[in-house]
Amino acid sequence: MSSPRRTAFITGITGQDGALLAELLLSKGYMVHGLKRRASLIGNTQRIDHLYQDPHEDHPDMVLHYGDMTDATNLIRLLQQTQPDEIYNLAAQSHVQVSFETPEYTANADALGTLRLLEAIRILRLEEKTRFYQASTSELYGLVQDSPQKEITPFYPRSPYAVAKLYAYWITVNYREAYGLFASNGILFNHEGPTRGETFITRKVTRAVAAIMAGQQDCLYLGNLEAKRDWGSARDYVEGMWRILQHHEPDDFVLATGKTHSVRSFVETAFRRVGKEIAWEGEGVDEVGRERRTNQALIRIDKRYFRPTEVDLLIGDASKAATKLDWKPTTTFDELVSEMVEADCRAYGITLT
Ligand code: NDP
Ligand code: GDR
């Protein structure tokens, strides 16, 4: 006898991870419900358009619902309608720098939004049926004292985003302990790919590489080059999210590669992929770009991209996930950078050899 089809509810389905997770769950035979925000243009579903099914078809595998993490009544109604076996809470104002500009909204969506979903599970008496995944983050570690960081490393958040995510982390733990919910945190280190949001550093750089190669951009403005991140591939990490909810008990897991690289090194690796050298403004090569050679790309530093408080070093230890979930990252740093550069170049009609 085949087991009944499982139903997942994904908040943040239009984001990088939500789209990749939807693809993964559909490939596993899930019925997928996704929360999408109303936008004035229809463009916010770009990452999932290839998965879209006409709702007029009989039994579509994926259905999108309008909603917002700041609207509790909407979330309760949608969970009542969809009765999910698994909820993946990926929706968030996820940009660290933007959170300094919109701290209250970030707290509302990222912290209270998580509480609203957990309360909806209780109100609807779904505690026995529904498993809950919370998209926690390596930003919780912030001002790092110990490294590599693992599940027992103390937190010290350094941005309104990270503080909001700290609340979401602990409210998830609290509802697990207080009400017996199957509620788990994935503490994920930075993960990227060709569909990464364009204003995060990796994609900003790989898009600029392509635009400079195509002769459509002259130079690239960046902030702090010395920050170090543990960058993995988003494809590997959504597989880890799913494994976290299939585990026999709810728990919290770090997902990371265990390797760290500076922003400067990411930039150098990306430009090296297309055979370009870098002229770092202010570092001797050419103060104003005048003496730049034709195969050099100019990088300028712009103070506006520096954060009031920075996270200097992140490097994760995912050995718990390796042991208990048999999860391991499969993509190296160089492979990730190449994949992103190649995809952005293709979008400009440039095929790299
Ligand atoms: P994205 O920024 O790409 O996607 C965020 C998603 O949340 C989008 O679908 C966005 O909708 C949605 N969203 C934002 N605000 C609201 C709201 N008020 N109501 C409903 N939906 C909302 O993020 P990622 O895919 O990169 O990350 C997914 C989650 O994982 C986030 O919670 C992030 O904080 C967390 N995380 C990410 C890491 C990473 O390296 N990528 C690492 C660790 C944690 P819209 O498309 O309409 O903007
Ligand atoms: P992060 O990602 O803050 O780690 O959060 P981001 O790519 O924005 O920054 C990484 C590092 O690069 C430095 N930096 C710049 N960053 C941006 N965005 N733009 C620049 O021009 C620039 N120049 C230098 C930053 O200062 C920082 O040190 C991401 C998000 O996905 C979060 O949602 C997630 O929780 C964490 O990763 C893990």
106 CB within 6 A, ligand 2: no
Atom index in ligand 1 nearest the CA of residue 138 equals 43
- The active-site residue out of 133, 141, 161, 237 is 161
199 CB within 6 A, ligand 2: yes
Ligand 2: which of 102, 155, 191, 200 to mutate, most ligand atoms within 8 Å of CB?
200
Closest listed ligand to the CA of 139: 2
- The active-site residue out of 11, 88, 114, 139 is 139
Place 43 in a pLDDT band, splitting at 50, 70 and 90: confident
CB neighbour class for 1 (10 Å; exposed up to 12, middle 13-18, buried from 19): exposed
- Spell out the long-range contacts of 23-31 with Cβ–Cβ below 8 A and sequence spacing 24 or more: 23/51, 24/238, 24/239, 24/242, 25/242, 26/51, 26/61, 26/62, 28/242, 29/5, 30/5, 30/6, 30/61, 31/5, 31/6, 31/7, 31/61, 31/62
Candidates 3.90.25.10, 3.30.2080.10, 3.30.540.10, 3.40.50.620; correct CATH number of 201-226+263-311+335-347? 3.90.25.10
Assign 52 to helix, strand or coil: coil
Percent above pLDDT 70 for the chain: 96
pLDDT at 54: 80
161 in catalytic set: yes
Nearest Cα residue to atom 14 of ligand 1: 92
Token digits of residue 236: 């590997």
- The active-site residue out of 137, 153, 202, 260 is 137
- Note the pLDDT tens digit of each residue in 140-179: 999 977 899 999 999 999 999 999 999 999 999 999 999 9
Cα–Cα distance for residue pair 50/23, rounded to 1 Å: 9
User: Rounded to the nearest 10 degrees, how much is the dihedral formed by the CA atoms of 340, 342, 347, 349?
Assistant: 170
Higher pLDDT, 284 or 264: 264
321 CB within 6 A, ligand 1: no
Distance 227 CA to ligand 2 centre (A): 9
User: Rounded to the nearest 10 degrees, how much is the dihedral formed by the CA atoms of 98, 104, 110, 111?
Assistant: 150
Cα–Cα distance for residue pair 336/338, rounded to 1 Å: 5
- Mean pLDDT value across the chain: 95
Distance 304 CA to ligand 2 centre (A): 13
Residue carrying the six token digits 């209250």: 104
Q: Does this model's pTM top 0.80?
A: yes
CB neighbour class for 259 (10 Å; exposed up to 12, middle 13-18, buried from 19): middle
Cα–Cα distance for residue pair 353/337, rounded to 1 Å: 15
- Note the pLDDT tens digit of each residue in 76-101: 999 999 999 999 999 999 999 999 99
Distance 192 CA to ligand 2 centre (A): 11
12 CB within 6 A, ligand 1: yes
330 CB within 6 A, ligand 2: no
137 in catalytic set: yes
List the CATH code of the domain at 7-194+231-259+313-330.
3.40.50.720
Domains of the chain, by residue range, sit at 7-194+231-259+313-330, 201-226+263-311+335-347
- Note the pLDDT tens digit of each residue in 243-256: 999 999 999 999 99
